Structures are given as structure tokens and as C-alpha cells.
Amino acid sequence: MIPLPQVLPNTTIVISHLSDETNVIGTSSPREIVLLFASLAIAYLLGLAIAHYLKLKLSHRLKPDQLHLMNRVIMAILFLVAFAITIPALLDLSYTLILLVSFGIIAIIGISSQKVISNMVGGLALVYEHPFASGDFISTGNVSGTVVSTRLFSVLVRTTSGVSVQIPNDQIYSSDVSNYYANVARRYEYVVGIRYKDDVKKAIGIISGLLEDYTFVLKNPAPDVFVNDIDPDSVRVMFRIWFPSVWAKTKDDISFQTEILPRVKAALEAAGIEIPYAHREILFADPHPALPGFRAGQK
């Protein structure tokens, strides 16, 4: 049997070189292993303590997702510091080797999980552009609801019916998003029809007075009340009003319907102005038309 060094002389040399570089595996002692776990535990406990402190001090000034992100970043930094202190000494690794291994791992993960990376990049773009924050009411695709949190890979939205919907970041970033809370004020439009014979100026005056008295209808920009259209059944009076967004938070805020529209109806009716129902007046060319099977004049 031929000895291995004679068959594969180069390989043997390489192995012997590797065995000389025992620092690849490391000569870690139990003390260094304990130090690693201790430093990780300290970093974790310190992160929890900082998170608790920040929650006490900043919870009324920051939104929950902002506070959560801040805590995650602090925790990640603490862990990195713990690793940076302990790992090289533990494994006797050079920083060059650590970088090479890291790049290799990143490349493998990147190739095998493009969708995940895409969501992560989308999440970073959302954090940078900040089109909405937690607590905002948004509408994207078929989903409308309040943003609960913006996370690394997805956005969690709670719909008005109480359903939590998780939307991938790349999907939300590449589609249209309407934020109903981005501006401090929002405009609503409503139309009320009155009869042809009703006094339009009087109706406009009544509606304007009601809007003036309502707390959440903004003084400026002033409400617009005007005749919008004259359709076959009614004269259509439109009113456009501005609300504070913080009050009118949802897309279809029912406060307006429940509080203002009933008042408008009651006030108009109290003033003798009616909201008409649709009607048609049919005129016949022959006032006594003959029905099929009957002669004229036959009953």
C-alpha cells in the first residue's frame, strides 16, 4: 500500500499547513466560552434595561413602532459589541477571515432568498421615505386600515372591522398608498337634494349655520355650500367642509353621517324644505288610449 504522502504530496502539504494554523479552529478555553456567553447575557440584559428606561421616558413622545425600532437597533449594537469583544479572542480568528465568511454567508442568503431581501429593502425604503407612521389610516390595494407597525419585512394594518392584515413591504412600496392622516386637515363632500319649489338661498343659509355651529368643521378653510346640480328630481346642494385629520381619522368616518347629516335633514324639514323622492310625470298623447283587445269607448 502506497503511503498517502507519496500519492498526494501537495494535499498533504496543504493539510499540514492547515494543521499548523490551529487558530482557524481556535484554542478556546472554558473561561473564554463562559466569557462569550456572559457578555451576550450582559448585552441582552443591558438592552432590556435600556428598552424599559426608554419606554418609561419616551412612550408618550414616540410612537410604539418608533420606540420598538430604537430598542431593536440598540439591542443589535450591544450584541455586535459583545461579539466583537469576545469572538476574535475565543476562536483566534483574524478579522479578514471573519469578513470573508460573513460575505460568503450574505451571498448565499441573498441568492437563496431574493423575496426576503426585496421585502427588507422595501422596509428600509419605507423607513427612509416615511410615507406613513403607526396610527395613520392608510388605503392600499384592497386594504384600508390603521397602521399598527412597520416591521423589517411587512407592515401590519388593522382594518376597521378589526382584522389584522400583514402586507409585504415590497408590495406596499411598489403600489399606491393613500394616507388619510398625512395632512392635518381633510375635506369631506356631501350632497343634499331639495325640491324645485324650495328656497335655495334659505336652504344654503340653514346648512351654513349648522356647519358654523359644529365644533369640528374648521373655520378656515370655510365651508362651501352651493348648488351643485339640478337633476330631474331635485336641486342638489353640495357642502364641502374641512375637518382636523386627527379627529376624522378613518376613510369613511361615520361621525359626519351620524352627527351632521341628521341635523341638516331635521333643520331643513323644520324650515319646510323637503328632501324629495324620485318621481316621474308621464304624459299621454291620447288622453284615452285604447287598450289591446278593446275598441275605443268600450269598457
Binding site for another protein (CB under 8 A): 57, 60-61, 182-186, 213, 215-216, 218-221, 242, 244, 246-247
Nearer to another protein, 218 or 264 (CB): 218
Burial group, residue 137, by CB count within 10 angstroms (0-12, 13-18, 19+) = buried
CB of 180 to another protein, least distance (A): 12
CB of 74 to another protein, least distance (A): 19
Nearer to another protein, 203 or 248 (CB): 248
Instruction: Let me know: does 243 contact 186? Beta carbons within 8 Å.
Output: yes
CB of 244 to another protein, least distance (A): 5
State how far the Cα of 56 lies from the Cα of 51, in Å rounded to an integer: 9
3-state secondary structure of 133: coil
CB of 105 to another protein, least distance (A): 43
Could you tell me which of 191, 178, 170, 81 has the C-alpha nearest to residue 136? 178
3-state secondary structure of 2: coil
Q: What is the CA radius of gyration of the chain?
A: 36
Nearer to another protein, 6 or 183 (CB): 183
Nearer to another protein, 5 or 221 (CB): 221
Instruction: Let me know: does 202 contact 271? Beta carbons within 8 Å.
Output: yes
Q: How many CB atoms lie within 10 A of CB 32?
A: 16
CB of 205 to another protein, least distance (A): 18
CB of 67 to another protein, least distance (A): 14
Nearer to another protein, 195 or 251 (CB): 251
**Cis before 221? omega within 30:** yes
Q: Sheet of 154-159: strands edge to edge?
A: 164-168, 154-159, 143-150, 137-140, 177-179
Instruction: Let me know: does 267 contact 206? Beta carbons within 8 Å.
Output: yes
CB of 183 to another protein, least distance (A): 4
> Does the CA dihedral 100-106-108-110 come out positive or negative?
negative
Nearer to another protein, 160 or 255 (CB): 255
Nearer to another protein, 219 or 280 (CB): 219
